[in-house]
């Protein structure tokens, strides 16, 4: 069976066959039909990037899981997580989905943010793509070259981890700040020698350039996590709505597990991606709702990097546990919380 985006619980089980999957899907549907109705008309605005990492939010909206849990959710589509977080900070959204890097940067700058739950993770998705005709064949060839990257994002943090992993001084590479939508064109026009990209941009670049680019990896150099985040005052004032939202995301998680092929087709359509473009993302990104102890290590590593990069003033390491909204997940699905409290 081809590897796919899947929930955490599926990874812990033996893969089930077609008949077992159909039975699980039927039982899941029956359980949801028999569930007690929830209160209606609670409204939430979620800024969500149109990327696979926000897949559970998009699926929950499209399948009506938010509505079934008594929520009227409006999705505010954004090009990437940093832009979604900016909408939250401007007050245009109640919640946002973003990678951990821009969230850490904003916390260091004083933003009162609470991480409600992780909704996706990946360890080997990001890569550096270099033009062979520009002399890029190995990581060492990046010295003295221009690399396109979206600054202040998980892409930049991965590039730093990539360079360190390959014993290349980060300052020996010239970073060119580009939005994700501009990475491929800049590489095509020769404005940069290489780019750092996540899925699906990475696959689109590999498809567009073929054997004219080399894909360079740093396995497990950075465990990227996408999270659902809100301002602390909103989170504290809307506990009931957030519990309903998490239940809806768990419904989406269960749907991915029960009928992964339908979930794959649905999400590809929602993201307006062809099956060929979407397949690598489906393989590289894991959709799961959780609050894990391991993320604290990454948050602190990112904070150290961000202060070194002068994205935020130098300061003592924040207590990131205080920025995790653990009570909501503990009330809904305590087995998914491993954070030491």
Query: What pLDDT does 219 receive?
Result: 85
Average pLDDT over residues 23-30: 45
Q: Which CATH architecture has domain 8-122+224-336?
A: 3-Layer(aba) Sandwich (3.40)
Average pLDDT over residues 330-339: 96
Predicted confidence band of residue 281 (pLDDT cuts 50, 70, 90): confident
pLDDT greater than 80 at residue 229? yes
Query: What pLDDT does 307 receive?
Result: 97
Question: Percentage of the chain with pLDDT > 70?
Answer: 88
Per-chain mean pLDDT for the chain: 89
Residue 68: both structure tokens together:
């079934």
H or E segment to which residue 284 belongs: helix 275-284
In CATH terms, are 8-122+224-336 and 127-216 the same topology? Answer: yes
Task: Count other C-beta atoms under 10 Å from residue 167's C-beta.
Answer: 8
H or E segment to which residue 165 belongs: helix 154-165
What is this structure's pTM? 0.85
Q: Count CA atoms within 13 Å of residue 311 on its CB side.
A: 20
Q: Which CATH architecture has domain 127-216?
A: 3-Layer(aba) Sandwich (3.40)
Query: What pLDDT does 135 receive?
Result: 97
Query: What pLDDT does 49 receive?
Result: 97
In tens, the pLDDT along 62-115 reads 999 999 999 999 999 999 999 999 999 999 999 999 999 999 999 999 999 999
Provide the residue ranges of all domains of the chain, joining segments of one domain with +. 8-122+224-336, 127-216
Average pLDDT over residues 204-211: 94
Query: What pLDDT does 46 receive?
Result: 98
Contact 246/333 with Cβ under 8 angstroms?
yes
Handedness of CA 200, 58, 231, 114 (dihedral sign): negative
Contact 337/290 with Cβ under 8 angstroms?
yes
Query: What pLDDT does 41 receive?
Result: 65
| Cα→Cα distances 253→6, 202, 204, 226, 248, Å | 8, 25, 27, 15, 9
Query: What pLDDT does 241 receive?
Result: 97
Which residue do the tokens 């604290």 mark?
296
Task: Count other C-beta atoms under 10 Å from residue 248's C-beta.
Answer: 27
Predicted confidence band of residue 40 (pLDDT cuts 50, 70, 90): low
Cα–Cα–Cα angle for 223, 203, 221, nearest 5°? Answer: 20
């Amino acid at each position: 069976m081809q590897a796919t985006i899947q929930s955490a619980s599926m990874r812990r089980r033996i893969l089930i066959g077609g008949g077992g999957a159909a039975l699980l899907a039927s039982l899941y549907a029956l359980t949801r039909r028999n569930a007690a109705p929830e209160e209606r008309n609670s409204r939430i605005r979620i800024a969500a990037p149109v990327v696979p990492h926000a897949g559970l939010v998009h699926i929950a909206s499209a399948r009506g899981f938010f509505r079934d849990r008594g929520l009227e959710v409006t999705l505010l589509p954004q090009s990437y997580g940093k832009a979604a977080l900016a909408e939250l900070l401007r007050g245009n959204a109640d919640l946002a989905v973003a990678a951990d890097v821009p969230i850490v940067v904003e916390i260091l700058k004083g933003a009162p943010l609470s991480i409600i739950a992780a909704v996706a993770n990946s360890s080997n998705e990001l890569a550096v793509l270099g033009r062979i005709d520009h002399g890029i064949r190995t990581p060492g060839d990046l010295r003295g070259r221009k690399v396109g990257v979206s600054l202040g994002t998980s892409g930049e943090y991965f590039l730093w981890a990539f360079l360190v992993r390959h014993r290349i001084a980060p300052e020996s590479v010239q970073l060119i700040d580009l939005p994700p939508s501009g990475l491929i064109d800049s590489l095509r026009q020769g404005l940069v020698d290489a780019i750092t990209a996540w899925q699906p941009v990475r696959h689109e670049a590999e498809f567009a350039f073929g054997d004219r680019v080399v894909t360079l990896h740093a396995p497990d150099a950075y465990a990227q996590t996408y999270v659902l985040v809100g301002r602390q005052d909103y989170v504290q004032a809307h506990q009931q709505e957030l519990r309903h939202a998490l239940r809806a995301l768990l419904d989406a998680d269960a749907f991915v597990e029960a009928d992964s092929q339908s979930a794959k087709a649905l999400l590809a359509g929602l993201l307006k991606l062809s099956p060929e473009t979407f397949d690598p993302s489906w393989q590289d990104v894991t959709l799961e709702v959780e609050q894990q102890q391991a993320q604290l290590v990454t948050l602190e590593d990112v904070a150290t990097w961000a202060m070194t990069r002068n994205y935020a003033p130098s300061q003592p390491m924040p207590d990131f546990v205080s920025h995790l909204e653990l009570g909501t997940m503990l009330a809904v699905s305590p087995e998914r919380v491993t954070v030491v409290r």
